[in-house]
A and B are shown apart, each in its own frame.
Chain A
Amino acid sequence: MSVAGLLKDTALFSGLSDDELGAVVNLCVERSFPAGSIVIRQGDVGDEMFIIQDGHIEIVVVGAKPELRVVVLGKGQILGEMSLLDMGFRSATARSATAVTLQVIKQADFAALCEQDHGIGYVVMRNLAADLSFKLRHRNLATM
């Protein structure tokens, strides 16, 4: 699947025109990891967001014994998005449960695109808020 096809099927980019999607495609860099790799390490400073193109990633919180397994994310899901918003430390570790292919967007590149095109910025930020809301609702149900 092309990067444009992936982004079109990803809720984060829902509502963008083909031209706007093209601008986002230009920011994407592909990165692949074998199963068992640490993609994001809890506590690190993050400056990238990831979109899963293929494979599964498990989110775990380390420090607890045993580590807390939070959720498994599949194709079309995003991770690392919180640091795009708050520039804070990574809140959890992301480990590839299978071989994975990811599209990576740097925070600085994304912020520059949003500054340049507020329409893209509004749509993606709204979708980002909805994605965080979805994950929070999932988490609430998972802990019932």
Chain B
Amino acid sequence: MIYKISYVVRGGTHPGAILDSDTLPKVDDEVTFGGALFGIVEVMELMPARGGFGFLHATCVPLDEAEDD
């Protein structure tokens, strides 16, 4: 299964991201995108899975201030 994940960042200035992952994201996981580190605080299904793809949403909070994109 490939997970297409909508990441929304609460707090900070990062606009969020849409990224694929081959692992299911979970609350308390850490994820890096745009050169910054985020902690996942919520995961939900955004649309039903179809054709080997899962469609998820994860709410994140910044864990550091570094940002290079």
Chain B residues whose CB sits within 8 angstroms of the CB of A70 once the complex forms: 15
Question: Given the interface contacts A11-B2, A14-B52, does A74 sit within 8 Å of B19 by beta carbon?
Answer: yes
A74-B2 in contact (CB<8A): no
Question: Given the interface contacts A73-B18, A74-B17, does A134 sit within 8 Å of B51 by beta carbon?
Answer: no
A58-B69 in contact (CB<8A): yes
Any B CB within 8 A of the CB of A90: no
B4-A74 in contact (CB<8A): no
Chain B residues whose CB sits within 8 angstroms of the CB of A9 once the complex forms: 2, 20
Any B CB within 8 A of the CB of A31: no
Total residues of chain B contacting the partner, CB 8 A: 24
A132 CB, nearest partner CB in chain B, Å: 12
B17-A73 in contact (CB<8A): yes
Q: Write the A4-32 contact mask toward B (1 if CB under 8 angstroms, else 0).
A: 00000101001100000000000000000
Any B CB within 8 A of the CB of A65: no
A134-B17 in contact (CB<8A): no
> A-side binding surface: helix, strand, loop or mixed?
mixed
With CB as the reference atom, state the residue of chain B lying closest to A141.
Answer: B8
Chain B residues whose CB sits within 8 angstroms of the CB of A141 once the complex forms: 6, 8, 57, 59
For A69, give its contact among B15, B19, B50, B52 (CB under 8 Å): B15
With CB as the reference atom, state the residue of chain B lying closest to A72.
Answer: B17
**Bound-state Cα–Cα, A121 to B23, Å:** 30
Any A CB within 8 A of the CB of B25: no
Any B CB within 8 A of the CB of A97: yes
Q: Interface of A with B (CB < 8 Å)?
A: 9, 11, 14-15, 56, 58, 69-77, 97-98, 130, 133-135, 137-138, 141-142
Provide a sorted-by-A list of 15 A–B residue pairs whose CB atoms are within 8 angstroms: A56-B69, A58-B15, A58-B69, A70-B15, A71-B18, A72-B18, A72-B34, A74-B17, A130-B50, A134-B18, A137-B6, A137-B46, A138-B16, A138-B46, A138-B57
Q: Interface of B with A (CB < 8 Å)?
A: 2, 4, 6, 8, 13-20, 33-34, 46-47, 50-53, 55, 57, 59, 69
